[in-house]
Amino acid sequence: MKKTVCCIMLLVLLVGICGSCYAEVVVLPAMPVIGIAWRTDTDSEFFINTCRAVEEAGGTWVLLDQVLSADLRYDERGNLVDGVTEKGSLSTSAAELVRCNTWAGSNAEEAVRNVNIVLFTGGEDISPALYSSSEMWPELEEEDDFNAERDVSDYLTMSYCLDHDIPVLGICRGMQMLSVVSGAEIIRNIPDYFEALSLEYGFEHRNEVSLPDAYRDYTPHEVQVVKDSLLYDMVGSELLEGCPSWHHQAVGSVKDTPLVMTGYTDTNGVQMIEAVERTDKTFAVGLQFHPEAAVVKHLEHAENEDDFMDYDTALSIFRWIAQERFVSQEAAA
């Protein structure tokens, strides 16, 4: 009997000790997994810099699989069999199928299943056939650079995320894809746009590539931030100085779309859109500039790092998306 009582007392003591130990264990919140939209050129500066910025902010990223349209034909390597023009952009007929059926029948759900937010990076021009406007622009021999497969994958991924309220952040091309999917107007070539307005353009958004000695580096400029916006929540300022810019296209207008302009820059009296968001979604933000480039310039102590936005401000954008706020209860379970 005494032996039984002692065993019981010992068991109670051990339970109490273990219970107090467990009480002291700090359970860390689950952090979001950031899915970077599919692309094959993972040696691209846009991709590498974005990954480094996410990691510097303490985030975890994965490269998403290519999303394929059920309405188009692909070969075994994921290349489109048809529906591509001689210049490499989507044909009008192929683009109409993508715009009409969006992600239906695609593998978009599977591609984003294990991520909490999707980040769309910079890169090639978006096929004009995907624009909501039918306005034609002149041929751009020096500028045209398309990737039809990526256009389809990005469009389907973006439309799926928006329809299911999955958080998205689009940088440069990514902002333009958010805008294209949302029905906004796109300026296909900024120099042509200013010429049509009979205004001088000083290539404030990217160095003039026709110059033989043009250094293909980012161009810094200011961005005014709308205070009542997610961008303001991220950076905590109404003025961003030294925003790294590298684009010859832009969002022209968000009128009659779900988008609102949350950042802009004045270029020779013209208000150029630099940030947008979908206020009907939990988090759908687009940035025309490249905060990841500023992060890396400071990490590598580039000679012109002081020309660009400071490290903490640039990194704050990536810290914001690496927070546990994007981990849903369902995903965390």
Q: How do residues 214-250 score in pLDDT, each as one tens digit?
A: 567 899 999 999 999 999 999 999 999 999 999 889 9
Structure tokens at 267: 């270029």
Whether 202 shows a pLDDT value over 90: the answer reads no
Q: Residue 211: what pLDDT?
A: 61
Of all residues in the chain, the percent with pLDDT exceeding 70 is 83
Binned at pLDDT 50, 70 and 90, residue 330 comes out as very low
Whether 135 shows a pLDDT value over 70: the answer reads no
Q: Residue 143: what pLDDT?
A: 56
Q: Summarize pLDDT for 7-66 with one digit per residue, the tens.
A: 444 444 444 444 444 444 544 457 899 999 999 999 999 999 999 999 999 999 999 999
Name the 3-class secondary structure at 34: strand
Structure tokens at 65: 């699989």
Quote the pTM value: 0.87
Q: Round to whole Å and give the CA distance between 329 and 193.
A: 46
Q: Residue 217: what pLDDT?
A: 85
Q: Residue 259: what pLDDT?
A: 98
Mean pLDDT of 281-286: 97
Domains detected in the chain: 29-332 (3.40.50.880)
Could you give the residue ranges of the DSSP H alpha helices within 72-147? Answer: 92-101, 108-111
Per DSSP (E only), the strands in the chain are: 33-36, 60-63, 117-120, 168-171, 185-187, 219-225, 239-245, 250-253, 259-267, 270-278, 284-287
Q: Round to whole Å and give the CA distance between 148 and 101.
A: 17
- Strand pairing partners for 35? 62, 118
Whether 133 shows a pLDDT value over 90: the answer reads no
Q: Residue 139: what pLDDT?
A: 54
Binned at pLDDT 50, 70 and 90, residue 324 comes out as confident
Burial call 268-302: b when 16+ CB within 10 Å, e when fewer: eeeebbbbbbbeebebbbbbbbbbbbbbbbbeeee
Binned at pLDDT 50, 70 and 90, residue 329 comes out as very low
CA 145 to chain centroid, in Å, comes to: 19
For residues 288 and 274, is the Cβ–Cβ distance under 8 A? yes
Distances (CA, A) of 322 to 59, 60, 130: 5, 8, 31
Mean pLDDT of 110-129: 96
Name the 3-class secondary structure at 141: coil
β-strand pairing of 168-171 with 185-187: unpaired
Q: Residue 45: what pLDDT?
A: 93
Across the chain, mean pLDDT equals 88
